[in-house]
Amino acid sequence: MNSTTGGVVFERVTKKYGDVTAVDDVSFHVAQGELVTLLGPSGCGKTTTLRMVAGLEAVSGGRVLIGGTDVTLRAANERDVSMVFQSYALFPHMSVLENTCYGPLSMRTDRAKARAMARAKLAMLGLSEYEARLPSELSGGQQQRVAVARSLVLEPAVLLFDEPLSNLDAKLRRRVREEIRDLQQSLSLTVLYVTHDQEEALAVSDHIIVMDQGRIAQQGTPDDLYEKPQSRFLADFIGDANLVDGELRVDTNGASFVAGGVAVPVRAGAMASGPATLAIRPQRLRVVDAAQGLLPGACRRASYLGSRIEYIVATAWGELLVFDPDARHTRRRDDAVGIAFDPDAVIVLPR
């Protein structure tokens, strides 16, 4: 797969609104047949980035290439992309079929052929029986699928999704995201996907780009980002994490992390002594009997969630969140407990 000819290349792109820099010198590429997600909190510039790929926003600096062609200065209707909007943006005065035909008709395809193209995609998404309906006569999930069908008709080089699941309820969201992923893989579509939901991003992506304040904070595969966050922001944003500020001490015997007067052994990698932050996933912590484990503490709260118990434990490192999958064995409020964990399971971050 030659990643420079297909897909999207986003090269040192900046977007300014007056004095405000919404996207600041961002570069990435989406290889052909890959699903790449732009993930980040609201206002991080991910949607602006997507819209610049679509041509709905002009760039202030940098280049955008689609399928090897420089499209930086082309308008949205001259780019080989399609977009599924957050609101779906189905034309309310047109039937499902008319909506789906819209793209080919814009390209001056003759009506019979446009209909055939549209019907093929509607059939693929299981919408054939709804083609005469208006969008207002469909459920939210069906509308979403019409939006996908409509953007697939032109078989664009890149398909863009702008938070496509945010208008669906929780159960449906899970099903639809699986459908999108299956569709993408079976047709080997090139997709750029925007979401603020990290779980959604982890579930659908080949590659995730996490953005923060207009810049790329980190990018990588889903498990890279989860297991090896490179900053406090990343550790906190992807999944749950306990963050403890303290100091890293590296000597000939190995490394240890000290906070609140308690030192624990850690793997420091290439880091030198100095201030550091420890990030620990709640499911990597264990609640053990008092006087065992690495940290003494007291149980502050225990919430029974069926699949697990969530504890808040007060320790010398502050309050720690712990997930205990063994839900049969409950500790009570104010019980003295210990906290145990594996040195391999913690992440040391520079502070």
Q: Which residues contact another protein (rule: CB under 8 A)?
A: 12, 14, 24-25, 54-56, 58-62, 72-79, 81-83, 85-87, 89-93, 102-103, 106-107, 136, 150-151, 154, 160
Displacement of CA 106 from its chain's centroid (Å): 33
Q: How far is the CB of 193 from another protein (least distance, A)?
A: 15
CA distance 4 to 279: 36
Q: How far is the CB of 298 from another protein (least distance, A)?
A: 43
Q: How many CB atoms lie within 10 A of CB 19?
A: 5
Q: How far is the CB of 302 from another protein (least distance, A)?
A: 36
Q: How far is the CB of 149 from another protein (least distance, A)?
A: 12
If the CB atoms of residues 98 and 324 are measured against another protein, the closer one turns out to be 98
Q: How far is the CB of 251 from another protein (least distance, A)?
A: 37
If the CB atoms of residues 76 and 203 are measured against another protein, the closer one turns out to be 76
If the CB atoms of residues 54 and 97 are measured against another protein, the closer one turns out to be 54
Beta-carbon contacts of residue 220 (< 8 Å; ≥ 6 apart): 207, 208, 228
**For residues 176 and 165, is the Cβ–Cβ distance under 8 A?**
yes
Q: How far is the CB of 26 from another protein (least distance, A)?
A: 12
Paired strand residues for 255: 250, 266
Q: How far is the CB of 25 from another protein (least distance, A)?
A: 6
If the CB atoms of residues 93 and 111 are measured against another protein, the closer one turns out to be 93
Strands 309-315 and 318-324: antiparallel
If the CB atoms of residues 54 and 125 are measured against another protein, the closer one turns out to be 54
Closest CA to 285 of 264, 269, 271: 264
CA distance 13 to 254: 43
Task: Please give the angle made by the CA atoms of 72, 114 and 125, to the nearest 5 degrees.
Answer: 85
Q: Which amino acid is at 200?
A: E
Beta-carbon contacts of residue 337 (< 8 Å; ≥ 6 apart): 287, 288, 289, 290, 296, 297, 298, 299, 313, 331
CA distance 84 to 87: 8
If the CB atoms of residues 55 and 246 are measured against another protein, the closer one turns out to be 55
* φ/ψ of residue 44, rounded to 5: -85, -10
| Placement of tokens 């499902």 in the chain | 96
If the CB atoms of residues 65 and 89 are measured against another protein, the closer one turns out to be 89
Displacement of CA 306 from its chain's centroid (Å): 27
Q: How far is the CB of 77 from another protein (least distance, A)?
A: 5
Which H/E stretch holds residue 301?
A: strand 295-304
If the CB atoms of residues 79 and 281 are measured against another protein, the closer one turns out to be 79
